[in-house]
Structure 1
Amino acid sequence: MKARRQAAMPWVMITLALAVIPQAASMPAQMIPLIILPIAWRWAAEYRGWGPVPLPLRIAVTGAAVLVLVVTYGSLFGRRAAVSLLTLMLALKLLETFRVRDARIVASLSLFLCGTQFLFSQGMTMLLYAAAVMVSALVALIYLQRQEAFVGVPRTSKTRHSLFSELGYSARLLLMAAPAALLLFLLFPRWSSPLWGVPETALDAKTGLSDSMSPGSIQELFMDDSPAFRADFANRIPEQTQMYWRGPVFWAFDGREWRSTFYSRNVPAEEKPPITPRSIRYTVQMEPTEQRWLFALDYPAILPRGTGLTMDYQLMSRRSVTRLKSYEMVSNPQFIDSPRLKTTHRAAALSLPDDFNPQTRELVNQWRMETPDDTEFISRVLAWFNQEEFSYTLNPPPLSRHTVDDFLFETRSGFCEHYASAFTVMMRMAGIPARVVTGYQGGWYNDFGNYVLVRQSDAHAWTEAWLPGAGWTRVDPTAAVAPSRVERGALDALSGRRHFLDYPWLRDFRNGFDLLQRRWNDWVIAFGLDQQSRLFRPFGMDRLTPSQLVGILTLGIAVLAAFMMPLILRMKVRTRSDPALRQWQRFRHKLERAGVGTEASMTPDEVLRRADARLGAQSEHARRITRLYLEARYGAGDPRLPALENAVRGFRPARQAR
């Protein structure tokens, strides 16, 4: 029984460890030991023969762990906190898992934990992750079932199930279930919206642009190569230098951090840009952000369903984007935003906190007296950025209270948010209305899929200054310092690698491989009510009703069951045969070649009597083999095996005449 117990429990722990991997990768560092230590302790207990942790100690450890979790996340609300609590409780459950029932609970809930990870990601790699967890869980449950089934049954055979036979059996079970899963995916009636949802107050903002900008905020995204969105262009693809994907717009500055205002988020645009022959048409497939903003080139001329356009022409969804979202878009780059600026908007675009950045103010006042024209003043500041020793770097020094002063006169090293913030502050000090715009710049063109891929590492910040007659005008100070950032992309603008795997050829391979993820999104993630209702259009059925789908699904399941049931009934686990039985079969095979007929149903004594009648002088050798086989198979076993093997190997009966 000990061998069976050791076979089952390690697989339970392996299943839990596999299910935990994605969640642990996103957990704060202080939470990870609370997950790893119980698993490590239970593994040691399995092989050292330790018993369960005493109940008072288990209660104390659980209470302390939950307290650490609450302090880490601030509460138990939110998806990350809730899933982390489930992960923690499953790991601590191992401290008392010494019965089949408890082990079965851990293995089963590990499957549930695996399912929760699809709340955070639905990429192709999650399919491999789910398959690995399911196979491991099936192996664990099979071992546990076998352990429970043979409790109290004496050992009569040394037959063991190999690791590969168990893995193969579990994989076959999954493969046999795959057709039914496919039928349910295609034909189970879908609704236009999910049956359940997560309140926006419980959402955890995913990696991506946030609702504020401070030194280092966009720089952090530069290390993230996960896709932000993809764009399919219907006519022409804009030049790289013109692909500014508009996102959150910031008006308010407190000396360090930029934020949007209530009015900029909630007041709608006064007019919608017209569609002209030079407008750009494209489709955006956007990854979930758990935020409300969408992305478009300047300026959005149509509004997808469920969206609105703010006063600063930011495209906003009425609901947070919690799943893959596709929308059609038309942009008019020639549109003039606010040819006349309202007094309230002008005041907001000139507002600065008092007693901040005195050196910058002194320099701007001097230049403004020398350069009263707004356009010329902007050109002068850009030329200064270009000619002075400013650098575009991923690791700028930290800044003190006067962030702009430190950046312009001390460090002179920064990322795009440093230049956009400093430039906008200088414009406001000069009396030129200005605001910060964040979003993405550029993208990678996929030749095979004919679309533009924009990653989180393409995040960017720039400035919009208001000029009489021209309205809000984009000015990118980063381009004055590092033109290659705008011309070729963020990754080509920096010297050196971001990390040890950051090679150009590997980035190109990853970008090309994104085509598979795109197809996965199109065919699986985006499969919804419209696609399902038109599934049988090639067969003359234009749109199927839910009742028709249920009928086809029922028929499909019935046909599948009729086909699969015989296969299921014939399924057997391949096992490693009993070595004693294998030697006995070799002995019978030699008897057959010698003309002594035997049958598989015959007992050893019956085989021996038939051999005695035909072998004559060699009967004694046959009796010795029979005795050794009975002792090895039903007695002590292992000590008799070598003697049995030698006896069978030396048995060479002469062929008997019939």
Structure 2
Amino acid sequence: MKIWLNTLTREARDTLWLLGMLALVLVPHVPRLPWWSSTLAALALGWRAWLAVHDAPLPRRPLLMALLAATMACTWLTFGTVLGREAGTALVVMLTTLKSLELRARRDALVCLYLGFFLVLTQFLYDQGIVTAVLMLGAVWGLLVSLVLGQRPLGHPPLREVGGEAARNMLVGLPVMVLLFVLFPRFGPLWALPSDAQGRIGLSDQISLGDVGSLAASQEVALRVKFQGPPPPMNRMYFRGPVLDHFDGQQWQAQVRPPTRQPDVQVGGTPWTYDMTLEPLQLKVLPLLDGTGEVAPAPGTRLPALTRRGLQWEAPLTGERLRLQARAWPVANEGPLEDHLRLREWVQLPPGRNPRTLAWALALRQQPAWREAPASAVVGEVLRHIRSADFRYTLSPGRPPPGEQHLIDRFWFDQQAGFCEHFASAFVVVLRAMDIPSRVVLGYQGAEFNPIDGQFTVRQSHAHAWAEYWQPGRGWVRVDPTAAVAPERIEQPPQLRPLQGLPGMMGDLDPAFLKRWRHAWEAVDHRWNTWVLQYSNSQQMNLLQQLGMRNPDVGSLLHVLGLALGLLGLGGAAWAGWQAWQARKAPWPRLLSALDRALSARIAPPPGPRPASPLAWARHPALANHEALLTRLHGLDALRYGADAQTPTPGMGHQARLPRKARELLREIEQICRHNRGF
């Protein structure tokens, strides 16, 4: 590969490098781009690379204008606009690749570079993970290499040398970047914009049979929780989401309730205290641990205004990660504790639906043993029926046929196989048919423990549905009918396997070292989310308080930022002055740089470090017949390394006289270069 690169011209090599960096920036966008955009971008970059390698002429402007018009038309037909995040990104991708097809001059290269830097920014409109950050950091370095190459038009500078210079420039800018990150005022969480319109999967405030089951294959993280003390047992780890009250025969939906109708809550037992990080949600209900009675923001963070409705906590949709501290009680009864007229809404069923299930429930209720039995006893009998019948728990129950009107009948009598929402929905319909107030609750059940950082990870695959029924004196009581047919689902929730999705027996492998690697990666990812993506204005104010400020505000932050940048600027100026002073103390580097400038204006510099030594220039093939230059170059080399350089002359300082002789030879070389253009 290296030999092949050395055979290319300077222009071809630099063009291929720029095209490679643009491809690196564009690749993460491919899953989000329309097929035609990805295809045309790949063809344009490949075509331009072929033209660079073969030194072929570039396409004419009419063809480029036709391609541009086609791109605009395709963008409009696909998105209905050329503005917005998705349409704008697709359009910029096409403009960048089309611009590479007219890459003739330095100005064109700069335009492609600036478009490449802009596309780096667009990556963070979709994902702000650590992988994206590292990948884009490499892309920025690659684009800076192209920028440095553009600033050094003469000769054939090695990529390794130019890459080192680009890396040094990035390191020089690192202190300023860190200062701006830490102290620049934040009027909202860092990079909060990308969460809008992300199309995230997760819980909803309404479900149809099969909706929760569709989350079983998703390993996307929903939340992380860390307990301060012993955690609750796995079968008590229910994270309560939206309560679904209304059933129309096809869907369960949450009723909108006015804030004045607040149910009573009585708690008891020793509470569990926990810290939670919630990924951006698509619903207002926060899936907190069931029984949570107190919620506060995590130290150094802020929470939006929370609304409590019994054991359910709601927050406005912000598209942000939320960090909080909370306490949940093992005994938490949500009222009313006595029979109330408003409980009638939890026994409503759609008319004309599921007649077989209603008839079965009425027949059970009319039996002497259950006619006057309390709700808890009837619930126990229905659970016994689920355990003893041929019901099966399955992750792929399939969708009901189109137009099916009696979904519960089909599950309860015919299919008898389903996911958690099938069991919870049928269970609630049966209880309501027996005039027992009941409802469906969505949330998450169980978690995966990460021994690296001691946190429990809850994924979308932990999504679960259970039921609640009302019992006099206790209020709403949780019951999980899925546990009656599949207790292992509650005791040991689904775990992510590192090789899941591979074909055959490979997908069943679960090596311990891969688990440890995954746990370590998730711990690092959580720290990235906490320390970088969630770095907020409140944390900045806490930092200023630690620095001794009593009541810091945005003005204080700006003053500290200005002071820090000023000190950094003074430090940079002092460093530049020290470098200049060192250069004056060492005259040879200055002389060699001047020699390098004079000769590089006529011929490509020799390989090796810059500035090249006089002896390296003397060995240059282009100077083989120029005796005048060779004599003076050998003279400079003798002044620096010859015998005269080792023998000081009395009277005059040796270091003061040698540069003077060398300057004379340098002036003669410069005059020869000005008057001789034959090399």
Q: Which residue of 2 aligns with 1:530?
A: 538
Aligned Cα root-mean-square deviation (Å): 4.2
Q: Which residue of 1 aligns with 2:65?
A: 55
Distance 1:273 1:428, change over 3 A: closer
Matched, 1:285 2:277: yes
Distance, in Å, in 2 between the alignment partners of 1:342 and 1:76 is 57
Q: Which residue of 2 aligns with 1:249?
A: 243
Q: Which residue of 1 aligns with 2:672?
A: none
* 2:529 corresponds to which of 521, 529, 541: 521
Counterparts of 1:622-641 in structure 2, within 5 Å, are none
Shift of 1:160: 4.2
Distance, in Å, in 1 between the alignment partners of 2:194 and 2:23 is 30
Distance, in Å, in 1 between the alignment partners of 2:388 and 2:533 is 49
Q: Which residue of 2 aligns with 1:650?
A: none
Distance, in Å, in 2 between the alignment partners of 1:396 and 1:379 is 25
Shift of 1:487: 0.8
- Under a length normalisation based on structure 1, what TM-score does the superposition of the two structures give? 0.76
Distance, in Å, in 1 between the alignment partners of 2:249 and 2:515 is 37
Shift of 1:259: 1.9
Q: Secondary structure at the match of 1:335?
A: strand
Distance, in Å, in 2 between the alignment partners of 1:94 and 1:446 is 44
Q: 2:223, 2:279 within 8 Å by CA — same for their partners in 1?
A: yes
Q: Which residue of 1 aligns with 2:39?
A: 36
Counterparts of 1:82-93 in structure 2, within 5 Å, are 82-93=85-96
Distance, in Å, in 2 between the alignment partners of 1:408 and 1:166 is 71
Q: Secondary structure at the match of 1:527?
A: coil
Distance, in Å, in 1 between the alignment partners of 2:437 and 2:347 is 5
Distance 1:556 1:256, change over 3 A: farther
Matched, 1:353 2:347: no
Matched, 1:64 2:74: yes
* 1:444 corresponds to which of 443, 448, 456: 448
Distance 1:465 1:5, change over 3 A: farther
* 2:466 corresponds to which of 462, 465, 470: 462
Q: Which residue of 2 aligns with 1:421?
A: 425
Matched, 1:604 2:630: yes
Shift of 1:498: 5.1
Q: Which residue of 2 aligns with 1:112?
A: 118
Distance, in Å, in 2 between the alignment partners of 1:377 and 1:352 is 19
Q: Which residue of 2 aligns with 1:294?
A: 286
Shift of 1:145: 4.8
Distance 1:21 1:390, change over 3 A: farther
Q: 2:264, 2:334 within 8 Å by CA — same for their partners in 1?
A: no
Q: Which residue of 1 aligns with 2:13?
A: 7
Matched, 1:188 2:184: yes
Q: Which residue of 2 aligns with 1:654?
A: none
Q: 1:13, 1:39 within 8 Å by CA — same for their partners in 2?
A: no
Matched, 1:489 2:493: yes
Shift of 1:386: 2.5
Distance 1:342 1:41, change over 3 A: farther
* 2:23 corresponds to which of 13, 17, 23: 17
Q: What CA deviation, in whole Å up to 9, does each residue of 1:135-178 have, x standing for no partner?
A: 232233334555xx56xxxxxx5x3433x444333333222221
Shift of 1:246: 0.8
Shift of 1:76: 7.5
Q: Secondary structure at the match of 2:366?
A: helix
Aligned length: 576
Matched, 1:270 2:262: yes
Shift of 1:566: 7.3
Distance, in Å, in 2 between the alignment partners of 1:142 and 1:462 is 62
Distance, in Å, in 2 between the alignment partners of 1:421 and 1:117 is 42
Letter in 2 for 1:37: L
Matched, 1:328 2:325: yes
Q: What CA deviation, in whole Å up to 9, does each residue of 1:489-532 have, x standing for no partner?
A: 1238x9x9555567543345323432222322333233323332
Distance 1:244 1:123, change over 3 A: same
* 1:561 corresponds to which of 561, 565, 572: 572
Q: 1:443, 1:452 within 8 Å by CA — same for their partners in 2?
A: yes
Letter in 2 for 1:118: F
Distance 1:176 1:587, change over 3 A: closer
Letter in 2 for 1:67: L
Distance, in Å, in 1 between the alignment partners of 2:219 and 2:575 is 43
Q: Which residue of 1 aligns with 2:383?
A: 382
Instruction: List gaps (5 residues or longer) in structure 1.
Output: 151-156, 590-597, 612-633, 637-658
Shift of 1:240: 0.8
Q: What CA deviation, in whole Å up to 9, does each residue of 1:101-139 have, x standing for no partner?
A: 455334323333332333444332232122122123223
Q: 1:62, 1:92 within 8 Å by CA — same for their partners in 2?
A: no
Distance, in Å, in 1 between the alignment partners of 2:8 and 2:520 is 51
Distance 1:538 1:303, change over 3 A: closer
Q: What CA deviation, in whole Å up to 9, does each residue of 1:456-503 have, x standing for no partner?
A: 2222111112223322111112212221111111238x9x95555675
Q: Which residue of 2 aligns with 1:644?
A: none
Query: Larger deviation: 121-130 or 268-277?
Result: 268-277
Counterparts of 1:89-168 in structure 2, within 5 Å, are 89-97=92-100, 98-99=102-103, 100=105, 101-146=107-152, 149=153, 157=155, 159-162=156-159, 164-168=160-164
- Percent identical among aligned pairs is 27
* 1:409 corresponds to which of 392, 404, 413: 413
Distance, in Å, in 2 between the alignment partners of 1:336 and 1:365 is 28
Distance 1:336 1:538, change over 3 A: closer
Q: Which residue of 2 aligns with 1:617?
A: none
Q: 1:176, 1:564 within 8 Å by CA — same for their partners in 2?
A: no
Q: What CA deviation, in whole Å up to 9, does each residue of 1:421-449 have, x standing for no partner?
A: 22222222332222221111121233342
Q: 1:76, 1:82 within 8 Å by CA — same for their partners in 2?
A: no
Q: 1:397, 1:413 within 8 Å by CA — same for their partners in 2?
A: no
Shift of 1:278: 1.8
Distance 1:499 1:491, change over 3 A: farther
Q: 2:268, 2:330 within 8 Å by CA — same for their partners in 1?
A: no
Shift of 1:51: 0.9
Instruction: List gaps (5 residues or longer) in structure 2.
Output: 1-6, 297-302, 584-588, 594-599, 638-676
Distance, in Å, in 2 between the alignment partners of 1:488 and 1:553 is 53
Q: Secondary structure at the match of 1:534?
A: helix
Q: Which residue of 2 aligns with 1:648?
A: none
Distance 1:94 1:123, change over 3 A: closer
Distance, in Å, in 1 between the alignment partners of 2:82 and 2:349 is 38
Q: Which residue of 2 aligns with 1:546?
A: 557
Q: 2:441, 2:465 within 8 Å by CA — same for their partners in 1?
A: yes
Distance, in Å, in 1 between the alignment partners of 2:212 and 2:250 is 14
Shift of 1:184: 1.5
Letter in 2 for 1:185: F
Shift of 1:86: 1.7
Q: 2:25, 2:116 within 8 Å by CA — same for their partners in 1?
A: yes
Q: What CA deviation, in whole Å up to 9, does each residue of 1:298-347 have, x standing for no partner?
A: 22322545343454532111x31322211221223322212235434432
Distance, in Å, in 1 between the alignment partners of 2:189 and 2:613 is 62
Distance, in Å, in 2 between the alignment partners of 1:42 and 1:122 is 27
Shift of 1:608: 9.3
Q: 2:606, 2:616 within 8 Å by CA — same for their partners in 1?
A: no
